[in-house]
């Protein structure tokens, strides 16, 4: 699947994870999930629930608006 077919969330999650030098496994472990869950979010267009989104925002030092593609401001 090409990036232009993925959701902004999927693309930004992967970019931010890499910018924070985290593997899928490391991110999953910090959220108490399996690595396959992170892969589903990045590759299959699935999205986390609200509580998990808040945790992701904190771990990745971003905003929910940026991660969800609502805003292009990453601060």
Cβ atoms within 10 Å, residue 36: 11
Q: What's the pLDDT at 2?
A: 45
Q: Is the dihedral of CA 40, 16, 47, 73 positive or negative?
A: negative
The percentage of the chain sitting over the pLDDT mark of 70, rounded to a whole number, equals 93
pTM value is: 0.89
Summarize pLDDT for 34-64 with one digit per residue, the tens: 999 999 999 998 999 999 999 999 999 999 9
* Rounded distance between C-alpha atoms, residue 31 and residue 70, angstroms: 23
Cα–Cα–Cα angle for 5, 68, 34, rounded to 5 degrees: 80
Q: Which residues of 7-31 are buried (b: 16+ CB within 10 A; e: fewer)?
A: eebbebbbbbbeeeebebeebbeee
């Amino acid at each position: 699947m090409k990036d232009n077919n993925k959701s902004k969330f999927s693309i930004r999650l992967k970019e931010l994870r890499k910018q924070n030098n985290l593997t899928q496994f490391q991110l999953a472990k910090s959220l108490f999930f399996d690595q396959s869950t992170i892969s589903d979010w990045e590759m299959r267009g699935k999205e986390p629930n609200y509580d998990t989104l808040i945790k992701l925002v904190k771990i990745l030092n971003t905003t929910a608006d940026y991660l969800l593609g609502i805003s292009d401001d990453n601060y």
